[in-house]
Amino acid sequence: MIKLKCVAMLFCLAVAIVGCDDDDDSVSSAGTETYSSEMVVKWLNIQARMLRVPLPAGVGTQAADRAQAYSGIALYEAVVQGMPTHHTLAGQLTDFPAMPEIESGVLYHWAVSGNAALAEINRLLFPTASVTNKASVDSLETALQSAFATDIDAETMQRSIDYGKLVASKVYDWAASDGSGNTNPPYVPSGAAGTWVSTPPNFPPAVNPYASQRRLLVPGVATGTTLSPPPAYSAMAGSEFYNMVKDVYDKSLVLTPDQTAMALYHRDAPGYPGGGHFVPILAQVLSKALPALDVAAIAYAKVGIAQGDATVVCFTYKYSFNQVRPITYIRNEMGHATWNALFNTPGHPEFPAAHATISSAVAEALTDVFGDNFAFTLNTYAYLGLPNRSYTSFRTMSKEMADSRVFGGIHYQASCDKGRELGKKVAENVLSTVDF
């Protein structure tokens, strides 16, 4: 059960001591830190369920990273007024507008506001959700409201709900102008030697080819992220490029059971296509840490912002370098015409590796909140029958996610290593720029 705490009311304690006027109507809402984070975990689990469904062709990470980012921002803004030492993100994120003011002299229940904000933002972000998932959103919102109702009067309940929904609407209006809805012509590969083409056996369409048109959440977040280029393309045996690809091929022939399990665990599909696995990961971390609502809101916002901007920066670089995937080179240049990766290669250029970049950014955000020695176990894919995986820190999780793409046969080791550096720098820029 959610641990509910009564809303604190500060009345005149003793007229003889403080000389309060009889008409003094000052009140104070209980701080965000007095509420449990269990409500947030429940909403993350609902969102994870919505992200399990197949995404439209070509959408990929765009749906997952936007959901994480804008939900985290909406929650944070819905409860930050109950966090006296923290600040709104208005004026800090790119073009982010001022958030609604709260009424003075009245009570708010910040868990109710957060619940309303997360319900509303999920409705807005997932308009095509299934009937079952839409019903789950309604049901969870109502159940949590009922649980909180024992704490407060009807007016405080409605005021808190209205505030949370208004914040979510403002956040969504801002999100709708981020460029993700731009209509672009289909991406046509250049066909030049060494550049990306759609890969067998499923030949997916290009994913996020126009990511550069999306607005970055944090101004200047790409500062200092310039990547040194990968080895020059060459089909010559013994060249640096050839040896880089041969490393992937050689490893594919001698995979250990754990390397295979690692690669399959982090493949995303089936599961959470396009980076959606970070939603249940955050839920599991919060379930282990059991922070108060204020810390959960900060973690959600930091993870979402880092993931969102790392995704845009990564995919912008991908289509700039436009590097060929291992399966294309191994089949066409190395002569292994029937070779396959362990699972289907995603539909976008190889360099830098997205799993490596985004997982590193998320790891840095989580480390900033929960520390560097946070041991945890993931059961993200238990519903698919995959064994749990355990880590001693968020950075070890990121390293495994990166390396898993090499064992899976879809990335070069250098691309994963540089991707992790890229994600770390993006997260550092987020954390040093935004004053929470």
- Which residues fall within 8 angstroms of residue 397, CB to CB, at 6 or more apart? 281, 359, 363, 378, 391
Q: Does 22 or 32 have the greater pLDDT score?
A: 32
Q: Residue 385 is encoded by which pair of tokens?
A: 């029958």
CA dihedral 171, 176, 178, 182 (to 10 degrees): 170
Per-residue pLDDT band at 61 (split at 50, 70, 90):
low
Does domain 211-220+231-433 match CATH 1.10.606.20? yes
Q: Residue 10 is encoded by which pair of tokens?
A: 């500060």
**Cα→Cα distances 66→86, 174, 285, Å:** 23, 12, 20
Per-residue pLDDT band at 40 (split at 50, 70, 90):
very high
Residue 335 pLDDT exceeds 70: yes
Dist. CA 228–CA 226, nearest whole Å: 7
**Cα→Cα distances 61→66, 209, 395, Å:** 8, 11, 21
Residue 20 pLDDT exceeds 60: no
Maximum Cα–Cα distance for the chain, whole Å?
Answer: 93
- Which residues fall within 8 angstroms of residue 91, CB to CB, at 6 or more apart? 98
Give me the pLDDT at residue 12, please: 32
Q: Which among 142, 113, 166, 147 has a CA at the least distance from the CA of 46?
A: 142
At 65-102, the pLDDT tens digits run 999 999 999 999 999 999 999 999 999 999 999 999 99
Per-residue pLDDT band at 275 (split at 50, 70, 90):
confident
Per-residue pLDDT band at 27 (split at 50, 70, 90):
low
Dist. CA 370–CA 376, nearest whole Å: 11
At 87-140, the pLDDT tens digits run 999 999 999 999 999 999 999 999 999 999 999 999 999 998 889 999 999 999
Residue found under tokens 């500060």: 10
Give me the pLDDT at residue 52, please: 85
For residues 436 and 301, the answer to whether their CB atoms sit within 8 Å is: yes
End-to-end CA distance of the chain: 29
Q: Residue 371 is encoded by which pair of tokens?
A: 């520390």
Give me the pLDDT at residue 57, please: 52
Per-residue pLDDT band at 224 (split at 50, 70, 90):
very high
Which residues does residue 390 pair with via DSSP β-bridges, in sequence order? 377
Residue 19 pLDDT exceeds 50: no
What average pLDDT does the segment 288-308 reach? Answer: 98
- Cis bond leading into 231, ω under 30°? no
Residue 23 pLDDT exceeds 50: no
At 355-375, the pLDDT tens digits run 999 999 999 999 999 999 999
Looking at every residue in the chain, the average pLDDT score rounds to 92
Dist. CA 87–CA 76, nearest whole Å: 10
Domain boundaries, the chain: 15-175, 211-220+231-433
In terms of Cβ atoms closer than 10 Å to its own Cβ (0-12, 13-18, 19+), residue 293 is: buried
For residues 297 and 40, the answer to whether their CB atoms sit within 8 Å is: yes
At 240-258, the pLDDT tens digits run 999 999 999 999 999 999 9
Q: Residue 137 is encoded by which pair of tokens?
A: 């959103």
The model's pTM is 0.92
**Cα→Cα distances 221→60, 217, 309, Å:** 22, 8, 7
Give me the pLDDT at residue 163, please: 98
Residue 209 pLDDT exceeds 80: yes
Q: Residue 332 is encoded by which pair of tokens?
A: 């066409």
- Write the Ramachandran bin of 361: left for phi over 0, alpha for psi from -120 to 50, otherwise beta: alpha
Give me the pLDDT at residue 98, please: 98
Give me the pLDDT at residue 71, please: 98
Per-residue pLDDT band at 13 (split at 50, 70, 90):
very low
CATH of domain 15-175: 1.10.606.20
For residues 327 and 200, the answer to whether their CB atoms sit within 8 Å is: yes
At 146-172, the pLDDT tens digits run 999 998 999 999 999 999 999 999 999
Dist. CA 53–CA 366, nearest whole Å: 26
- The tally of CA atoms less than 13 A away on the side-chain side of residue 32 is 27
Give me the pLDDT at residue 434, please: 98
